[in-house]
Copies of this chain bind each other. A is one copy, B any other.
């Protein structure tokens, strides 16, 4: 309690920034139903590069949202799963994701209308 996101120094700004990071939403969403391995995440989240996936996972780990389990096998088997904390983020993120998926047409229409209102640049 007592945090105010509007305050310049509020730590929740950092947290919001993390959530807003390009790939966080996708990784968390991907781990919703079961633990996944690196390659599985990679193929599940289309377009993510290994570098960025690693970075995102490390950040999520540091923040205590994702747990990494190295099974010490050969070939390597490493699994990522949501922690309790990470799981608690699912609900809000799902809401945002659902909103995004549901309102695409309206947003696209608004953009098209705005574009039509402006003088075409060609």
Bound together, the chains give a CA A6 to CA B99 distance in angstroms of 15
Residue A77 CB within 8 A of the other chain: no
Q: A110 to chain B: closest CB distance in Å?
A: 3
Contact with B along A45-56 (1 / 0, CB 8 A): 111000000000
B6, B106, B111, B113: the one contacting A44 at CB < 8 Å is B6
Residue A78 CB within 8 A of the other chain: no
B26, B93, B101, B106: the one contacting A3 at CB < 8 Å is B101
Q: Specify which chain B residues have a CB less than 8 angstroms from the CB of A85 in the assembled complex.
A: 103, 106-107, 110
Q: Which A residues have a C-beta under 8 Å from some C-beta of B? A: 1, 3, 5-8, 11-12, 15-17, 19-22, 25-26, 29-30, 44-47, 61-65, 85, 88-89, 91-93, 95-101, 103-104, 106-111, 113-114
In the assembled complex, 18 residue pairs joining A and B whose CB atoms fall closer than 8 Å, in A order, are A5-B26, A5-B29, A6-B29, A8-B46, A11-B104, A12-B101, A12-B104, A15-B107, A19-B100, A20-B21, A20-B22, A20-B25, A64-B107, A64-B111, A64-B113, A64-B114, A85-B107, A91-B95
